[in-house]
Amino acid sequence: MSKRYFAFIICIFIIVISTLLFTSLVIDGHYIWCSLLLLVIIMLPFYIRFEKKAFVSREIVMVAILAAIAAVSRVPFSIMPSVQPTSFVIIVSAIVFGSETGFMIGATAAIVSNIFLGQGPWTPWQMFAWGMIGFMAGLLRNTCIMKKLWGRIIYGFIVGFIFGWIMNLWGLLGFIQDVTWKAFLSYYAASFYFDLGHAISNVIFLTLFSSSWITILTRFKKKYGILDDNRERISERNKA
């Protein structure tokens, strides 16, 4: 990880903490507006950084195709709550192409799939949740966690619950007027089986398809030089 990239991540955490303190001390009580403000502040730097990168047309097409696959694959599974291959596509894409690409694919998949399933105030939360699943998978892609099947399975299981917990925050802040610890715990307990369904579906898709998908996407990456890491490092050095 480059020093510039590490500084970027630190800045994101500083912005998040500062925003949380501001919303708690200054505009306490307006939870849903505070949460939307926080989401915008968090996601905007990712879009700006992604926009500033030098891309060729085939790289943009590849990101768009993977985002479309992640989005469309969610639609047929909508009859089964929380069961979908979207998280799987985001994770394997991030492992091959990196954290920023993983974030963009995750965030784009949420907003595109909701064109079919319905847009609403939950959309930014889904964009953030899936975007961060992709971002973290990309950060861990060179570790044994993502290089081994068991590591990918554990990661998929954990983020299945994390996705649900993030979405629970939207429901809690949007529908519960007086947020107490009792309401918080009850809300999260009620979503357990839905989150478990998401986690198990991630495990199944990653177990069956992650190795073959990673192999295929890696071949495309090497053959066509798509989102090549070495080229990005050279570009960053030239800018420095």
How does DSSP classify residue 141?
T
Identify which of 214, 108, 103, 101 has the alpha carbon closest to the alpha carbon of residue 152.
Answer: 214
- pLDDT of 197 reads 94
Among 11-20, 30-39, 103-112, 146-155, name the most confident range: 146-155
The per-residue pLDDT of the chain, averaged, comes to 80
How does DSSP classify residue 178?
S
Mean pLDDT, range 89-97, rounded to an integer: 94
Query: What domains does the chain contain, in order, with CATH numbers?
Result: 56-239 (1.10.1760.20)
CA distance 162 to 170: 13
Alpha helices in 118-228 (DSSP H): 123-139, 144-147, 149-175, 181-190, 192-224
Cα-only R_g, the chain: 18
The pTM (predicted TM-score) of the whole model is 0.80
- pLDDT of 110 reads 87
Instruction: State pLDDT tens for residues 208-232.
Output: 999 999 999 999 888 877 766 555 5
Cα 108 to its chain centre, rounded Å, is: 10
CA distance 31 to 174: 8
CA distance 206 to 200: 10
- pLDDT of 116 reads 86
